[in-house]
Amino acid sequence: MSAEPIRMKTPAEEGFPAVFDAAAAGLPGTPDIAAARRAAIALVRDEGLPHRRIEAYHYTDLRALVRSVPPLAIFAADATGAALTDAATVIGFTNGRLTKTPEALPAGVILQSFVEAASAGSITLPTPAGLADSVSSLNTAFASDGAMLYVAPAGDAAAVIELQSAVVGGGQAHLAHRVTVAAGAKLLLIDRTSGPADTDYLASGSLTLVVEDGAEVTLVRLQREGDKATRFDRLDISLGEGSKIALHSVSLGAKLWRFEIGLSITGDDAEAQLFGAGLLQGRQHGDTTLFVDHAALRGTSKETFKSVATDEAKAVFQGKILVRPGAQKTDGKMMANALLLSERAEFMTKPELEIFADDVACGHGATCGEIDENHLFYLMARGVPKPVAEQLLIAAFVEEVFDDVPDEALKAALAAEVDGWLAGRAAG
């Protein structure tokens, strides 16, 4: 055996297994699921948290960034609120448990809770392979509830569902959602997370979205965790033949967040439009890590991710497009744009293309800049004071991310969230 250098574990690396050992007996699931959880936490126990020498975490060193680990959040009464749009049916989770079950679901929609599915053994949890999968590991180890949704076709209008996750008091909350949108069905799904200010809590979510042949899904995400929170998200999307996904994601909260997206295009002629915005202030650190896997013919994927960073905030975007052999006529375009509002704000980006087919159109680009002085002068020359002019220009930079949201109330709600963030920034 080779001698491994002995490394001191960080309090967080000690903390996750300790919290797991204390909580494992109470986590839902069959013995198989319990075994998957143990395998996932074993990774953390043995190898700790990912650090900058792990490529996928080069810019987001969890060893340094996750300082401590709170116990699992305790049961709490429902703390979820009204939906962002009247059209939506809310399924609410508080402190990692289902606390709001709708009286009626939209036509064609079937809901089962994660607890029910795990207890019946009708789901399996992913088995993470290494440190690069740490978000999945933690979620697998601790997931305590979630929504298992099946959406069958039901007419022309999309079913509108809002998943809300609230944390009250603090602790850890982990949810795992699975959504299957059957062939030809339409879904507008809202995934919204929030929690208390000034509280050092940790939340994770994994959302697995299976979009079957010809199905159409719009996913709107609004992450508004508290200012001291840690938030980990894993979104896995698979697209069947002729299916469509549009993602509109806005991340405003959390001291530290990582949003991983794995998009897998498995059916021919599928279309994906992924838009994301991260607005970061203070000493926030926000990481979007995207992997697009084109494994079918004529797949289209357009990714546009925008970061706004001020104060000493750090924005990270890592994006990779893989075009597998035979995935001809793939059209993949990835764009990362950052707007830095202060000298100490940072943007780190790593775009990658890996192409194994010859007849494809793929590209990526990245821009990083400040507010355009000429734009600012034009607005100010019309009497608009600098802070308001800046707000208009930052909102303009971000707007594209939710411009195509099909529900007007939802779109207005997202714009209002961004305006609220901007007003808060202007007020200092």
Partner 1 sequence: MLEIKNLHARIAEDGTEILNGIDLVVKPGEVHAIMGPNGSGKSTLSYVLSGKDDYEVTEGDILFNGESILELGPDERAAAGFFLAFQYPIEIPGVATMTFLKAAINAQRKARGESEITTPDFMRLVKETSAKLNISSDMLKRPLNVGFSGGEKKRNEIMQMALLQPKLCILDETDSGLDIDALKVVSEGVNALRSPDRAFIVITHYQRLLDHIVPDVVHVLSKGRIVKTGGPELALELEKNGYADFVDVAA
- Alpha-carbon distance 229 to 61, whole Å? 16
Neighbours of 54 (CB within 10 A): 18
Closer residue to partner 1, CB minimum distance, 46 or 373? 373
Q: Find the shortest distance in angstroms from Cβ 388 to partner 1.
A: 6
User: φ and ψ at 273, to 5 degrees?
Assistant: -125, 110
Contact 71, 171 (CB under 8 A): yes
Closer residue to partner 1, CB minimum distance, 105 or 388? 388
Residue 334 class from Cβ within 10 Å (0-12 exposed, 13-18 middle, 19+ buried)? buried
Closer residue to partner 1, CB minimum distance, 43 or 336? 336
Q: How many residues does the chain have?
A: 428
DSSP 145: B
Q: Find the shortest distance in angstroms from Cβ 344 to partner 1.
A: 22
Cα dihedral 405/408/413/419 (nearest 10)? 80
Q: Find the shortest distance in angstroms from Cβ 343 to partner 1.
A: 17
The tally of CA atoms less than 13 A away on the side-chain side of residue 158 is: 21
Binding site for partner 1 (CB under 8 A): 373-375, 377-386, 388-389, 392-393, 395-397, 399-400
Q: Find the shortest distance in angstroms from Cβ 339 to partner 1.
A: 11
Q: Find the shortest distance in angstroms from Cβ 397 to partner 1.
A: 6
Closer residue to partner 1, CB minimum distance, 7 or 382? 382
User: Who's near 3: CB < 8 A, 6+ residues apart?
Assistant: none
Closer residue to partner 1, CB minimum distance, 355 or 388? 388
The phi-psi region of residue 61 (left if phi > 0; otherwise alpha if psi is between -120 and 50; otherwise beta) is: beta
Contact 148, 113 (CB under 8 A): yes
Q: Find the shortest distance in angstroms from Cβ 275 to partner 1.
A: 14
DSSP 26: G
Q: Find the shortest distance in angstroms from Cβ 230 to partner 1.
A: 32
Closer residue to partner 1, CB minimum distance, 274 or 389? 389
Closer residue to partner 1, CB minimum distance, 352 or 403? 403
Q: Find the shortest distance in angstroms from Cβ 389 to partner 1.
A: 8
State which amino acid sits at residue 367: T
Closer residue to partner 1, CB minimum distance, 265 or 413? 413
Neighbours of 423 (CB within 10 A): 12
User: Who's near 27: CB < 8 A, 6+ residues apart?
Assistant: 34, 37, 142, 143, 144
